[in-house]
Structure 1
Amino acid sequence: MKKNNPKEIAALLSKIYGNQLEPANYVRGVAISGKLRLSKLIPKSNIKIPSITKIVDPLINEDYLAKIIRSDGSVHAGFVWAEDLTEISGDTKYINFLKKIADSYLQFNSEGKPLPIDPDDRVEDIFYSAALLGRAYKFTNNDQYLDVLVDHLLSATPESKTGLWWHCKSSPFFWGRGNAFVTLGFAEALTYIPSNNQSKTVIEKKHQLHIKNLLQYQDSSGAWRQVINRSDSYLEFTATAMIGYALACGRSNGWLGSYVDEPLERAWQAVTNRITADGSVRDACIGTGPLEHLGDYVNRGTVNGLDDRSGSMALLFSIEYGKFLGEF
Structure 2
Amino acid sequence: MKKILLFLLLSTPILAQKVFTNWPKKADPITVGKRTAERFMAVPHSRYGVTFPNPPATQITYPDVCTWLGSLGFAKKTNDKDLQARLQAKTALLLKEEANLQPKKNHVDNFVFGAIPLAVYLENRNEELKTLGMAYADEEFKTLSPEEYTSLKPEVRNWYAAGLSWVTRFWMDDMYMITAVQAKAYEVTKNRKYLDRASYEMVAYLDTLQNKDGLFYHAPDVPFYWGRGDGWLAAGMADLLKVLPKDNPHRPRIMRGYLDMMGVLLKHQDKQGMWHQLINDPNAWPETSCTGMFTYAFIVGVKKGWLDEKTYGTAARKAWIKLQDYINENGDLTEICEGTNKKNDHQYYLDRKRITGDLHGQGPLLWCVNALLE
Looking at structure 1, the residues matched to 118 and 308 of structure 2 have their Cα atoms a distance apart, in angstroms, of 28
Structure 2 SS opposite 1:177: helix
Distance in 2 between residues matched to 1:117 and 1:270, nearest whole Å = 40
Residue 226 of structure 1 contacts residue 297 of structure 1 at CA under 8 Å; is this kept in 2? Answer: yes
**Corresponding residue for residue 123 of structure 1:** 172
Q: Is the Cα–Cα contact under 8 Å of residues 116 and 133 in structure 2 kept in the other structure? A: no
CA distance in structure 2 between the partners assigned to 1:70 and 1:156 by the alignment = 21
Which position in structure 1 is the counterpart of 2:214?
163
Matches within 5 A, 1:1-328: 2-19=25-42, 20-21=44-45, 23-44=59-80, 46-49=82-85, 51-60=86-95, 68-106=103-141, 113-115=162-164, 120-157=169-206, 158-258=209-309, 259-303=311-355, 305-323=356-374
SS in 1 for 2:122: helix
1:322 CA displacement: 3.6
Name the stretch that deviates more: 157-166 or 286-295: 157-166
| Change in 2 beyond 3 A, CA 1:13/1:45 | farther
Partner amino acid, structure 2, of 1:4: A
Q: Does the aligned pair in 2 maintain the 1:127–1:184 contact within 8 Å?
A: yes
Q: Secondary structure at the match of 1:80?
A: helix
Is there any run of 5+ residues in structure 2 with no aligned partner, and where?
1-23, 46-56, 144-156
Q: Which runs of 5+ in 1 are unaligned?
A: 324-328
Residue correspondences, number = 320
- Cα distance in 2 between the residues matched to 1:139 and 1:48: 19
Structure 1 residues 254-310: Cα deviation after superposition (integer angstroms, max 9, x where no partner): 33331311110111022111112321222110111222322211221111x322221
CA offset at residue 165 of structure 1? 0.3
Q: Normalising by structure 2, report the TM-score.
A: 0.78
Change in Cα spacing, 1:30 to 1:18, as seen in structure 2 (3 Å) is farther
**Cα drift, residue 159 of structure 1:** 4.4
Q: How far has the Cα of 1:89 moved from its partner?
A: 1.1
Paired letter, 1:296: Y
Q: d(CA) in 2 for partners of 1:67 and 1:13?
A: 24
Query: Of Structure 1 and Structure 2, which has the larger fraction of its residues in helix?
Result: 2
State whether residues 65 and 97 of structure 1, in contact with CA within 8 Å, keep that contact through their aligned partners in structure 2.
no
CA distance in 1, matches of 2:166, 2:274: 31
Q: How far apart are the structure 2 equivalents of 1:269 and 1:256? A: 20
CA-CA distance at 1:46 after TM superposition: 4.4
Q: 1:241 to 1:248 in 2, by over 3 A?
A: same
- What percentage of aligned pairs have identical amino acids? 20
Query: Residues 244 and 56 from structure 1, CA distance in 2 versus in 1: closer, same or farther, beyond 3 angstroms?
Result: same
Q: How far apart are the structure 1 equivalents of 2:335 and 2:170?
A: 27
**Larger Rg over CA atoms:** 2
Once residues 371 and 297 of structure 2 are traced to their aligned partners in structure 1, the CA distance between those partners, rounded to angstroms, is: 9
Higher alpha-carbon deviation: 130-139 or 238-247 = 130-139
Deviations 1:309-328 (A, max 9, x none): 211221221222243xxxxx
- Distance in 2, matches of 1:137 and 1:65, equals 26
Change (3 A) 1:106 1:75: closer
The structure-2 alpha-carbon separation of the partners of 1:104 and 1:280, relative to structure 1 and needing over 3 Å to count, comes to: same
What residue identity is the alignment partner of 2:371? Answer: E
8 Å CA contact 1:118–1:125 kept in 2: the answer is: no
The residue type paired with residue 136 of structure 1 is A
Distance 1:172 1:118, change over 3 A: farther
1:175 touches 1:228 (CA, 8 Å); kept in 2? yes
1:30–1:80 CA contact under 8 A, matched in 2: no
Q: Relative to 1, partners in 2 of residues 1:139 and 1:172: Cα closer, same or farther, differing over 3 Å?
A: same
Q: Give the root-mean-square deviation of aligned CA atoms.
A: 2.6
Q: Deviations over 1:75-116 (max 9, x none)?
A: 322343334312221223323322211112215789974135
Contact conserved, 2:60 with 2:101, CA < 8 A, in 1? Answer: no
Taking the aligned partners of 2:100 and 2:65, their CA distance within structure 1 comes to 15
Q: Taking structure 1 as reference, are residues 194 and 95 closer, same or farther at Cα in structure 2, changes over 3 Å only?
A: farther
TM-score (norm 1): 0.88
Relative to structure 2, which stretch is displaced further, 101-110 or 3-12?
Answer: 101-110
Report if aligned partners of 1:236, 1:284 keep a CA contact under 8 Å in 2.
yes
Q: Determine if contact 1:27/1:78 at 8 Å carries over to the other structure.
A: no
